[in-house]
Structure 1
Amino acid sequence: MKNYKQLVAMISATFILVFALTGMTTQASTDYYTTNPKIIKTKRAVTYYRDPAKLHPDQKVSANHFAKITKVVTLDGHAPVLKTNTGKYVTANKRFVVKTSGYQNPKQYYQVQYHQIKPHGQVGYTVKRHFEGIKTWYIMRKMGTFTGYDKYNQATYNAVKRFQRRHHLKVTGNVNEQTWLKMGFSKNAWTSIDRYIAPLKAHAWNGRQAHIAAMIHQAYRYMGNPYLVGSSSSPKYGTDCSGLVMQALYAGGINPLPTSSIHHAYPGNEWNSRNLWAAKKFKHIAYAKRQRGDLVFYYQPGTHVIWHVAIYLGHNRVIESWPPRIMVQPIRNSQRSDIAGIVRPFI
């Protein structure tokens, strides 16, 4: 009888142990990621480690931090951890991190893109009267009609017609690809000026601050270049105020359609600052709550008409294109100080 009781006790203990182990396994598979979630966002503050055993802390990050995950690592006697693309390790516990498709604005606002933004409009457009932009700038300098304002005026139209007659081209006063090439410009430039869209410099696994940094970094690439109305192309050229903002937004992943860099050179689009201000897919913020990365819009003095936009850098400084060049200036100065409001591209 004694041996029987001992046997029953041993079986019961074994059953309890197996149940406990099974329960632990179930809990682990429920509470922890066991397959790669690809991109995670922290739900609360967590610590990153230099090793999967979590013996060597590296840094602490706050809630809403994003990371790209390369694999799930499980060491004997340790809970699963996630290895990031930076080689650091973070808990795989679902109470602390959550699988996500990446950083994104709320649906009612412009969505952050994670594929290279495409040019919107005709690449290789014919330049006509009242057009502006880089192609017009080149043509006017070639024709000797540029006096500081790159708008295809009547003098340029007449000069182009004379040029076409001399070179036995169809006389239209407009510059198509054939006339462009005869002027000595390259075939590549005919399309590359239109096609340029700033490359994306932030990924889905980067958070808001990385997207703001990408936008501002792109704007700084134009520093010192001339103010050129209707221009929004490569950093080897100048821009105007909204042309600079558009390329900066592209680098952060926002495509502010229907405003586009190609159409910016078309007649009537030199005031795209007004279109950006009126866009319903941007979030408007109180001036007192302005933050680095916001867009600052200005009224023309004495009116309620938008005529300028700049990128806020913090500490009451902006980067902007304002005659004569792209530069960093105080948020208010003697040239423009009537602030209409603040727009936040990245929420």
Structure 2
Amino acid sequence: MNTLKRITVSGLLSLMALFLFTVGSTAHAAAQYYTTNPGIIKTKHSLVLYKDAAKTHQAAKVSAGHFAKITKVVKQDGKAPVLKTNTGKYVTANKAFVQKTRGYQNPKKYYQVQYHQIKPYGKVGYTVKRHYEGIKTWYIMRKMGTYAGYDKYNQATYNAVKNFQRRHHLKVTGNVNEKTWLKMGFSKKAWTGIDSYIAPLKAHAWNGRSAHIEAMIHQAYRYMGNPYLVGSSSSPKYGTDCSGLVMQALYAGGINPLPTSSIHHAYPGNEWNSRNLWAAKKLRHVAYSHRQRGDLVFYYQPGTHVIWHVAIYLGKNRVIESWPPRIMVQPIRNGQRSDIAGIARPFN
């Protein structure tokens, strides 16, 4: 009787041990996989994306550091879970190969990549005064007949505006406020729209570095052929100057290079925002020999160490830039500007 009891107890203990081992092993295995949607993942190693959840048909191979947005976790009986991406491809849910992340981002000491539409910085609907530049000034000077290829609110424009205000019984200031702007025949929509334009974000948190660079370059190409206009940084239906083009391109990639802004770019003295961008500590400077597509190329004024131009590097020793008379693609060095100060990298 005692022998039978000992055997029964021994058997129960063995079964309990087996059960606990099985449960523990299953829990440990489950802990190795994402079982709830991680949102965005980044690959730790190079791996395969599949066309199907059963992972029988390969779609593509991706390298370490690839980002993906996950729409759901797919669980199948007897099989390890997999993650479905927003592109319809499938990837392992194994935490040894993929990790949850907030998305692509620069190191903290550099400009942070934004994932909400960047807002205008400055007064939308600003009054245009002497020495202002930009698109509003360009419109006003053409209306007053004082534009001769350089959109800077000069004394002749100031005098012409005063005469216009007298003729139309407006307060005579020589400055163009909204009331004077409307009397000139321009729209209320343009009064604020020119100021407030910020290039829409064209890259997401689940896109990697390359996608942000391409978003920046794509925005710059939207201005191709438009005229060089000093102090201008607005919609692609207008021209820009060199730093104005770069700012809107950066906005499209998710970089807000404050305190440099598209609105303040029209204010007196801000036509040289290329200098402010060059001096920005939140842009990483790299050696010229290490230049890559998407880097910013800065130039010295000939014979000086004064920054006077910036362009976007496209690769193969070409840049896209705004240089008189228009926005265009050019060699990185040419007869007009070849004294390169250095290279800054917005996306790291």
TM over 0.5: yes
**AA in 1 matched with 2:337:** R
**AA in 2 matched with 1:272:** N
| Equivalent residue, structure 2, for 1:322 | 323
Query: Is residue 97 from structure 1 mapped to residue 98 from structure 2 by the alignment?
Result: yes
**AA in 2 matched with 1:81:** V
**Count of residue pairs brought into register by the alignment:** 347
Runs of 4+ in 1 over 6 A off after TM superposition: 1-10
| Equivalent residue, structure 2, for 1:199 | 200
| Equivalent residue, structure 2, for 1:148 | 149
Matches within 5 A, 1:321-340: 321-340=322-341
**AA in 1 matched with 2:108:** K
**AA in 1 matched with 2:174:** G
| Equivalent residue, structure 2, for 1:22 | 23
| Equivalent residue, structure 2, for 1:290 | 291
**AA in 2 matched with 1:165:** R
**AA in 2 matched with 1:138:** Y
Q: Deviations over 1:134-156 (max 9, x none)?
A: 00000000000000000000010
Give me the whole-angstrom Cα distance separating, in 2, the residues matched to 1:30 and 1:38: 17
Give the superposition deviation at 1:66: 0.6
| Equivalent residue, structure 1, for 2:57 | 56
| Equivalent residue, structure 1, for 2:209 | 208
- SS at 2:278's partner residue? helix
Query: Is residue 137 from structure 1 mapped to residue 138 from structure 2 by the alignment?
Result: yes
Query: Is residue 106 from structure 1 mapped to residue 107 from structure 2 by the alignment?
Result: yes
- SS at 1:190's partner residue? helix
| Equivalent residue, structure 2, for 1:281 | 282
**AA in 1 matched with 2:67:** F
Give the superposition deviation at 1:15: 4.1
**AA in 2 matched with 1:217:** H
| Equivalent residue, structure 2, for 1:116 | 117
**AA in 1 matched with 2:71:** T
Q: Deviations over 1:195-233 (max 9, x none)?
A: 000000000111000000000000000000000000000
**AA in 2 matched with 1:296:** V
| Equivalent residue, structure 2, for 1:270 | 271
**AA in 2 matched with 1:303:** T
Give me the whole-angstrom Cα distance separating, in 2, the residues matched to 1:57 and 1:9: 50
Q: Deviations over 1:223-255 (max 9, x none)?
A: 000000000000000000000000000000000
| Equivalent residue, structure 2, for 1:127 | 128
TM (norm. structure 2) is: 0.96
- SS at 1:35's partner residue? coil
| Equivalent residue, structure 2, for 1:189 | 190
TM (norm. structure 1) is: 0.97
Unaligned 5+ segments in structure 2 are: none
Give me the whole-angstrom Cα distance separating, in 2, the residues matched to 1:171 and 1:76: 81
Query: Is residue 259 from structure 1 mapped to residue 260 from structure 2 by the alignment?
Result: yes
Give me the whole-angstrom Cα distance separating, in 2, the residues matched to 1:7 and 1:83: 49
**AA in 1 matched with 2:20:** F
- SS at 1:308's partner residue? strand
Give me the whole-angstrom Cα distance separating, in 2, the residues matched to 1:148 and 1:339: 27
| Equivalent residue, structure 2, for 1:88 | 89
| Equivalent residue, structure 2, for 1:74 | 75
Give me the whole-angstrom Cα distance separating, in 2, the residues matched to 1:214 and 1:307: 25
| Equivalent residue, structure 1, for 2:169 | 168
Give me the whole-angstrom Cα distance separating, in 2, the residues matched to 1:158 and 1:313: 44
Give me the whole-angstrom Cα distance separating, in 2, the residues matched to 1:329 and 1:178: 42
Residue identity (%): 81
| Equivalent residue, structure 1, for 2:229 | 228
Give me the whole-angstrom Cα distance separating, in 2, the residues matched to 1:9 and 1:225: 88
**AA in 2 matched with 1:321:** S
Give the superposition deviation at 1:27: 1.6
Give me the whole-angstrom Cα distance separating, in 2, the residues matched to 1:337 and 1:9: 87
Give the superposition deviation at 1:10: 6.7
Give me the whole-angstrom Cα distance separating, in 1, the residues matched to 2:49 and 2:10: 45
**AA in 1 matched with 2:49:** Y
Give the superposition deviation at 1:20: 4.1
Q: Deviations over 1:175-206 (max 9, x none)?
A: 00000000000000000000000000000111
**AA in 2 matched with 1:175:** V
Give me the whole-angstrom Cα distance separating, in 2, the residues matched to 1:81 and 1:19: 26
Give me the whole-angstrom Cα distance separating, in 2, the residues matched to 1:243 and 1:109: 20
| Equivalent residue, structure 2, for 1:309 | 310
Higher mean C-alpha deviation, range 9-18 or range 162-171 = 9-18
- SS at 1:271's partner residue? helix
